[in-house]
Chain A
Amino acid sequence: MKEDGPLFDARDGLGRYLVSSGAQLALVIDEAGRVLVAAGDAGQLDATAFASVVAAHYEANLQLASLVGEPDFRTLLHQGEQSSIYIAGVGGAVLAVVYDGTRRLAEVGPEALLLAERVESPIRELIAESGGDGRVHHLSPDWVEAVESEIDRLFKEGV
């Protein structure tokens, strides 16, 4: 793994925050529901499934906002018994932080907002680098051939 670049910066920012805040897991998720950056320990949580629901949930909330004439609801807070979730839009992506139930969201909210500001610029860079800005990337014919044969193997009827 490269020791510099936006992925490293974003992961580093999230990692430091986890240590200082006692949060369990922080994810940056793109608008299509894919995990861009992850830090911390997912434990029992299925991070892939979690990310797909967070992205849809966040997008749905943007729609709710526009229906009541707000530009957005930038942060979403869910306080539970066992765990709590903080969600915010950041740099064209979505930041989700999972805390265990002992931390009240009212107290971590301002901290998390600072985190969002800190990781915004690496996240923008990362999205641009990944093609999320609409640039087209091309992979080698080698890769395409290898994936195609894997698709044939895996998606054979009645496997």
Chain B
Amino acid sequence: MSMINYASREINCKIVYYGTGLGGKTTNLEHVYAKINPDTRGKMISLATETDRTLFFDFLPIDLGEIRGFKTRFHLYTVPGQVYYNASRKLILKGVDGIVFVADSQEDRAEANVEAMHNLYENVESYGYDMETIPFVIQYNKRDLPNILPVEELRAQLNPNGLTDLEAIATEGKGVFETLQAVSKLVVKALS
């Protein structure tokens, strides 16, 4: 699905942050925006409600510059996690090259995580893409909160196939760049 524009020698990879409402997807992008070398980041776009819930998407382009003759960029997107925004969520998956699933580690969000994971599979497969081959990592976020499940339990619920998974505290920036690093390397490997 990756667009390699041979004529203009550009490669633009689309990475989508997916997961349950209030899980911390937008917070991940905000941290990347705040901390990455400003020369490499473009304008961040957020289509959100007045209460900062994502309504359509967030967008942040990262420009790696010219590498071996190809201008190489990552386009980061978040989807709206709230259940009833499914139509918008699905649109953002078009042409996706890599996915980060941001899980909310809190006990009372366990069911919502599983539901969001099912919804991801359903939406991806509705485009005829194969979840088995799309670069995909899982982030267990909000590890700072008191009422969280142990990672082993989250893993059993959300990651039975043993994909790359990472812990994070997105509000403190912990695990945010590691997650981006992991997914972007998988995306790049898929191009070789």
Interface residues of A, Cβ cutoff 8 Å to B: 1-2, 5-8, 30-34, 36-37, 46, 48-49, 52-53, 55-56, 59-60, 63, 126, 129-132, 134, 137-144, 146-148, 150-152, 154-159
Task: Give me 25 A-to-B residue pairs in the complex whose CB atoms sit less than 8 angstroms apart, sorted by A's number.
Answer: A7-B5, A31-B94, A32-B1, A33-B59, A34-B12, A46-B42, A49-B42, A52-B45, A52-B77, A60-B91, A132-B95, A137-B4, A137-B191, A144-B191, A147-B72, A150-B65, A150-B67, A151-B181, A155-B36, A155-B181, A157-B176, A157-B178, A159-B35, A159-B36, A159-B37
Query: Which parts of B162-180 form the interface with A (CB within 8 Å)?
Result: 173, 176-178, 180
Cβ of A139 and Cβ of B91 under 8 Å apart?
Answer: no
Cβ of A46 and Cβ of B43 under 8 Å apart?
Answer: yes
> What chain B residues lie within 8 Å of A158 (beta carbons)?
35, 173, 177
**Cβ contact of A143, chosen from B14, B68, B185, cutoff 8 A:** B68
> What chain A residues lie within 8 Å of B59 (beta carbons)?
33, 49, 52-53
Give Cα A60 to B94, complex, Å. Answer: 12
Give Cα A4 to B93, complex, Å. Answer: 33
Interface residues of B, Cβ cutoff 8 Å to A: 1-8, 11-12, 14, 35-37, 40, 42-43, 45, 47, 56-57, 59, 61-62, 64-65, 67-68, 70, 72, 75, 77, 87-88, 91-92, 94-96, 173, 176-178, 180-181, 184-185, 188-189, 191-192
Interface of B, helix, strand, loop or mixed by DSSP: mixed
Q: Nearest CB to that of B5 among chain A residues?
A: A130
> What chain B residues lie within 8 Å of A30 (beta carbons)?
3, 95
Cβ of B7 and Cβ of A154 under 8 Å apart?
Answer: no
Q: Nearest CB to that of A139 among chain B residues?
A: B191
* 4 tightest A-B CB contacts, nearest first: A32-B95, A7-B7, A155-B181, A144-B192
**Cβ contact of B64, chosen from A2, A8, A137, A150, cutoff 8 A:** A150
Check A129/B64 contact, CB under 8 A, given A56-B92, A155-B184: no
Cβ of B14 and Cβ of A129 under 8 Å apart?
Answer: no
Cβ of B67 and Cβ of A147 under 8 Å apart?
Answer: yes
Cβ of B75 and Cβ of A34 under 8 Å apart?
Answer: yes
Give Cα A157 to B173, complex, Å. Answer: 8
> What chain A residues lie within 8 Å of B177 (beta carbons)?
155-159
User: Could you say which of A37, A126, A151, A152 has the most chain B C-beta atoms within 10 Å of its C-beta?
Assistant: A151
> What chain B residues lie within 8 Å of A33 (beta carbons)?
14, 59, 75, 95
> What chain B residues lie within 8 Å of A8 (beta carbons)?
7
Q: Nearest CB to that of B9 among chain A residues?
A: A1
- Taking the nearest CB of chain A, how far is it from the CB of B138, in angstroms? 18
> What chain A residues lie within 8 Å of B47 (beta carbons)?
53, 56
Give Cα A158 to B4, complex, Å. Answer: 31
Give Cα A142 to B191, complex, Å. Answer: 12
**Cβ contact of A148, chosen from B7, B14, B88, B188, cutoff 8 A:** B188
Check A2/B7 contact, CB under 8 A, given A31-B94, A32-B96, A157-B173: yes
**Cβ contact of B192, chosen from A63, A132, A134, A139, cutoff 8 A:** A139
> What chain B residues lie within 8 Å of A134 (beta carbons)?
1
Give Cα A30 to B43, complex, Å. Answer: 19
Q: Nearest CB to that of A5 among chain B residues?
A: B7
Cβ of A31 and Cβ of B95 under 8 Å apart?
Answer: yes
Give Cα A143 to B114, complex, Å. Answer: 37
